[in-house]
Amino acid sequence: MSRLFLDISPLRESRSFRYAYAARTATVLVTGMLMVAASIQLFQLTNSSIAVAGLNATMAIPMVIALMIGGVLSDRMDRRKLMLYSRTIYVFSVALFLINALLPNPSIWLIYLAAGIGGAAGGISVPAMMSATPALVGRQHLAAAAALSGLSMQIGGVIGPSLAGLLIAGPGLIFCYAIVLLAVITTPFLLKQLPALPPKGAGATHPAMLKSFVEGFIYMAKQPLLRALLLIDLTAVVLATPLALLPEWGEHVLNHGAEVTGFLYSAPAVGATLMALGSGWTKHLKHPGRFIIASVMVWGLAVFALSQWLWLPWSLLCLALMGAADTLSKILRMALVQKHTPDHLLGRMSSLWMTQSSLGTAIGNMQMGVVSRWYSPSTAFFIGGGLCFVLSSLFALRNRSLRDLEHSPD
């Protein structure tokens, strides 16, 4: 039975990982609160799901640029310093959200500006954190560390959106932003406790920034497994990301208020948390690639099923199933990417992975918003989820590098 439960050995054995994990948990908790607060505020100001999708795009575009830069820098300099710098900038972006909410007439462009700054800060810190993980826990614990990271993300995803919805419905939006700001301020102090984390195996001289990033891209493109891992995730996030439609789904389709919208945003994280808690079996898989493909197929089916029954419990169930499938895929993909990439390329590979995830999610939210505007939210879920299932099924038939992979990610 112990093989089924979450492996916490990285937390027991690495003091540095405990500090990094605490910082990550605090970050994802307040990020969930922040995105729900900003999405609800934008929808109330504009009454448009496309405007909410634009929030994701505004965050994703600078994040993609910063991911490219952050990935290269993570392979050149101390990863601890990068995390400290970026988290400090993130504090400034959250302060902008709060200041704007305090204005008599909050500005839409200030919301987008704050989101862009926050996206750029995240783009610098994420590759540094991901590439530092093997040094903090050892490569033998990568699957366990990935599961723990997924758990922190999803617990934050459960608590953060729900708390945001309740705070906005109760004390109000300004109080919600203030809580987020107080929590964000703690993360740089936690990261200061980490040791120096320079990349291992990097050369003494470095090519230009763009050339260095291209080298990482070429390495990924030449590795069939790494290429497949990025492509299958891109299929899911572009076709079946429903998050931009949740304010409209909760308020106009299901006819509920902001607190229910917060619960809708939390539902994927509930399923993901349950999956992460029972993830001990993932490090013993003989064919992890097949489980990744199956997870994406379930994701598509869950989004497709959202359109079939306009009832709140059904929507929560479908979103929870989507979150569980997404987390299983992430645990396995993260461990495989980190295991099959040399340390001096981990920053760039992490940035490539997060670039396609961030950009793909923004595109997915936008295409869902457009289809919803042209037709309806139900139609957007029906088309996006159905296409995700069909294309991932074809992926299972055609891609042997992932389907026939025969070793465990741990």
d(C-alpha 265, C-alpha 208), whole Å: 41
Higher pLDDT, 51 or 102: 102
Tell me, what's the pLDDT at 114? 92
Tell me, what's the pLDDT at 23? 87
Q: Has residue 97 got a pLDDT over 90?
A: yes
Tell me, what's the pLDDT at 362? 78
d(C-alpha 160, C-alpha 374), whole Å: 31
d(C-alpha 140, C-alpha 385), whole Å: 36
Mean pLDDT of 38-60: 82
Q: How confident is the model at residue 409 (pLDDT cuts 50, 70, 90)?
A: very low
| Helix, strand, coil percentages for the chain (3-state, nearest 5) | 85, 0, 15
Tell me, what's the pLDDT at 94? 92
H or E segment to which residue 158 belongs:
helix 142-169
Q: What percent of the chain has pLDDT over 70?
A: 90
Tell me, what's the pLDDT at 204? 53
HSE on the CB side for 52, CA within 13 Å? 29
Nearest to 143 by CA among 276, 325, 334: 334
What is the residue extent of each domain of the chain?
7-194+209-403
Mean pLDDT of 262-272: 81
First to last CA, the chain: 19
Tell me, what's the pLDDT at 113? 93
Diameter of the chain measured on Cα atoms: 61
Can you read off the two tokens belonging to residue 291?
């489980």
What pLDDT, in 10s, does the model give residues 116-125? 998 888 888 8
Q: Which CATH class is domain 7-194+209-403?
A: mainly alpha
What is the chain's mean pLDDT, rounded?
81
